[in-house]
Amino acid sequence: MGLNLERVLYTSRARGNADNLMMQVEILAVSQRNNARDGLTGALMIHDGRFLQVLEGAAQDLDRLMRRLADDPRHDEVVVVERAPIAQRDFTGWAMASVRVTPALADTLRDTVGGAASPRETVARMQQAALAQAA
Ligand SMILES: Cc1cc2nc3c(=O)[nH]c(=O)nc-3n(C[C@H](O)[C@H](O)[C@H](O)COP(=O)(O)O)c2cc1C
């Protein structure tokens, strides 16, 4: 680990009832278990029928997860906004943080889906939210 570190930021469209808390809890539980195993970290939020997720880890582990995500019927329209090498993680300690939506984050999500937000800014806002929630 540490070599080959990359970050993926993607959006997708929730299928079925996006407000289904049971679904969200299940996704988080499996994510935290698998990501701890695979050395992946990141954050996930859902709002207005859209997921926004940032993932960090080794390229081959990200590839494997992106393949599983592509096959997951709980969402579709998976659009990778950015995939890039990173020098260090922003979500150390979070196998998968669940970011609660604030009005500002709702705007960020909408702008990210619409291509109007810079990926770096979006990730920074999600990190700030995860840190604020943990405090
Ligand atoms: C929006 C969304 C985000 C997800 N994030 C992750 C994740 O970070 N890690 C993960 O392992 N699975 C994640 N999943 C679940 C995967 O698509 C897949 O169901 C799961 O990895 C299968 O794990 P299993 O083979 O251990 O059952 C996510 C699913 C959705 C719909």
The pair of structure tokens assigned to 117 is 């937000």
- Ligand 1 pocket mutation pick from 7, 63, 65, 78 by most atoms within 8 angstroms of CB: 65
* Minimal-distance CA residue to ligand 1 atom 9: 31
- For 118: left if phi > 0, alpha if psi spans -120 to 50, otherwise beta; the answer is beta
- Residue in 10, 31, 96 to alter for ligand 1 test, most ligand atoms within 8 A of Cβ: 31
| CA-nearest residue, atom 5 of ligand 1 | 31
Mutate to test the pocket of ligand 1, among 11, 17, 19, 27 (most ligand atoms within 8 A of CB): 27
Q: What is the pLDDT of residue 14?
A: 94
Q: Pocket residues for ligand 1 (CB within 6 Å)?
A: 12, 27, 30-31, 34-35, 44, 51, 53, 65, 68-69, 72, 74-75, 96
In the prediction, which pLDDT does 2 show? 52
Positions in the chain short of pLDDT 50: 1
Which phi and psi (to 5°) does residue 76 adopt?
-150, -170
Query: How many Cα atoms sit within 13 Å of 56 on the Cβ side?
Result: 22
- Tell me what pLDDT residue 63 has: 98
Which residues are CB-neighbours of 92 under 8 A, at least 6 positions away? Answer: 41
Cut 0.75: pTM above it: yes
List, for residues 89-117, the tens digit of each pLDDT value.
Answer: 999 999 999 999 999 999 999 999 998 99
CA of 22 to the centre of ligand 1 (A): 14
Closest CA to 92 of 45, 132, 57: 57
Domain 5-134 has CATH 3.40.50.150: no
The domain segmentation of the chain, as residue ranges, is: 5-134
Q: Whose CA is nearest to atom 12 of ligand 1?
A: 31
Q: What is the pLDDT of residue 102?
A: 93
